[in-house]
Amino acid sequence: MTTDRLSTTATLPISYLFVPGNRPERFAKAVDARPDAIILDLEDAVHPDSKAASRAAIWVWQEKTPFTGCQRYIRLNDVNSRFFAQDMTWLGDMRYPERCAGIFLPKAECPETLSRVVERLRAWNPDLQIVAIIETAKGLQQVEAIAGIPGVTRLAFGSLDFSQDIDCRQIPEAFLFARNRIVLASRAACLPAPIDGVTPALSDMAVVARESHDARALGFGAKLCIHPAQLDTVQRAFLPDAC
């Protein structure tokens, strides 16, 4: 039986395109590239000295740009970082919360902490899609509990940070256990199929296609992108008839 937590699967993005928060000239260009969603990034893509300017740039763009069909997500900083409290204060003061479709929470590890954060975010916008990114060994150990947090609507795999955390090579064999566990945790919690991590290759679409098809075959339903050139390849790989 399909539960309420799975009922929005058909409307969820397949391709998510990261845009650094400190590059506001790219925001509209990212939308024009026609991903299913953009992720305005405050975390890895932004130098610590540029965090405040990134928040200001996102604020201005959100204020002046009504929803145009491309869903907008924001990736906040890690809940354990010194920037997270600033992110939450900034987000709570932002007008038009309905213009933000969702939030990505990086380095998800502690279910109790995440539960409190999700509760605050849903108070700001009850319709918010909240994606927990599993990208550490500790996060993977807690993935079932994280998937079961009320208000968490999808999981994502942060494969690059995961490889750094466990000191492994970025090869499919090294990620297989983590990917399988994230897929199974999503299904057991009645969440939509999770989002696979980025492919660093920017110009080799054969690599993007191979990694996308591999993720789709394992049960993932979407993929994070770091360049507009990757979007069409990712989109084709994750369509229902692509397997």
Tens-digit pLDDT profile for residues 210-239: 999 999 999 999 999 999 999 999 999 998
- pLDDT at position 132 over 70: yes
Q: pLDDT category, 9, cuts 50, 70, 90?
A: very low
- pLDDT at position 6 over 60: no
Q: What is the pLDDT of residue 50?
A: 96
How many structural domains comprise the chain? Answer: 1
For the segment 82-100, the average pLDDT, to the nearest whole number, is 94
For the segment 8-12, the average pLDDT, to the nearest whole number, is 58
What is the CATH number for 54?
Answer: 3.20.20.60
For the segment 44-70, the average pLDDT, to the nearest whole number, is 92
Annotated binding residues, written as ranges, equal 75, 135, 161
CB-hemisphere CA count at 13 Å for 86?
Answer: 13
Q: What rounded mean pLDDT belongs to the chain?
A: 93
Annotated binding residues for Mg(2+), written as ranges, equal 135, 161
Tell me which residue range forms the domain holding 141. 4-242
Annotated binding residues for substrate, written as ranges, equal 75, 135
Q: What is the pLDDT of residue 7?
A: 36
Tell if the pTM clears 0.85, that is, is over it: yes
Tokens of 223: 């993929």
Tokens of 218: 């394992």
